[in-house]
Structures are given as C-alpha cells and as structure tokens.
Amino acid sequence: MRPQHPFTAKQKNAVKAALNKPHTTEEFKRIQAVHLRAERNMSAPDIARLLGLHVASVWKIHAAFRTRGAAIFNSRKHGGRHRQNLSPEHERAFLKPFHEAAKKGALVTAGDIARAYEKRVGKPAVGSTVCRLLRRHGWRKVTPRPAHPNASAARRGTFKKTSPRSCGATWTPFPKAAACG
C-alpha cells in the first residue's frame, strides 16, 4: 500500500470552512470524503462505504483536492450541447421558413429539412439529428393513418393515382404542450 499524503493545516482549515457553507448533496459528499480522510484518517474503502460512493470516486476526490484545493467543492455543471452544430437561436431562425410554409398548409417533410440542414451546416447529418432538432422546437410527427375504416379499395386506388404528391410522414409545428409523446 502506498503512503498517504499528509494534509497541511491550511488544507484542513479549508475543509472545515467548506463544511459551514451551504451546498448541494454532491458537494457535501465531496467535502465529507476529504474531511473524513483529513480529520479521521479513514481509508478510501471505508469512506466509500460510509458515503455510498465508489472507491475510485473517493480516490479521484482526494487527488483533485491535492491538486486543485477547495475549488473542487463547488458544483460542476453536467451535460450540455457540446457538439451542437447550431445554437438554439440559429436553429429557430433555420426552422422559421419551414414553419411559415407549414402554416400555409404545405407539406413539410423531414427529408426536406434534413437537406436544408446539411446545406446550412456544411456537412452530412444523421436523420436522428434532424428529428431531435424538430422535437426540441416543439414539432411533432404527423403521419396519415394507413386506411380509413369506411374506405373502399377502389376509391383509395383512384386517389393514389390522382393525388399531386404522395402522402408521407410530415412534420408540423405545434406548441410543446400539444405535442404527443
């Protein structure tokens, strides 16, 4: 077993000061992990068992405290759109012409939006990217039902032959509250 790094008086005071500040549960567990090691000289497995953390997490907390000090006790933001192609404002501006066309009754398909999106971004985009974009802005998928219960096969065939455009799945803008899951 390798030797433990001793804590300086300055580090112990920083841990005690952090205990008295308001914090989240995540912050409090980090503070306790360092406090139990500094004041009680507990081992990482014992601290992990006591706080409900993984042993490797306790080691990481101790190592981070040695290198960065009490700054590790402040909560870090998790998640985010780190690989976004367009900001939310640019996405809204991008969808505006499609929104206007849908308001006028035009069929707006995900394929049309995907082609325009790829042209705007300048690289190919996976279909799920466009679907998530539309879902993020409150659009929902509207697909015609396969057949009406009272429809006849003859009339359906006539309609298919005379319709100006094949009816596929389209996307229409709706407020988030009206969107279906």
- DSSP structure string for 99-126: HHHHHTT----HHHHHHHHHHHHTS---
Contact 110, 169 (CB under 8 A): yes
User: Does the pTM exceed 0.95?
Assistant: no
- How is the chain split into domains, by residue range? 9-73, 88-146+164-178
Contact 12, 38 (CB under 8 A): yes
The model's pLDDT over 123-158, given as tens digits with 9 standing for 90+, comes to 999 989 999 999 999 998 887 777 677 878 888 788
The model's pLDDT over 81-93, given as tens digits with 9 standing for 90+, comes to 888 999 999 999 9
CA distance 130 to 115: 10
Copy the structure tokens of residue 118.
């790829």
Helix boundaries (H) for 122-181? 127-136, 153-162
The model's pLDDT over 48-59, given as tens digits with 9 standing for 90+, comes to 999 999 999 999
CA distance 29 to 33: 6
The yes/no answer on whether domain 88-146+164-178 falls in CATH 1.10.10 is yes
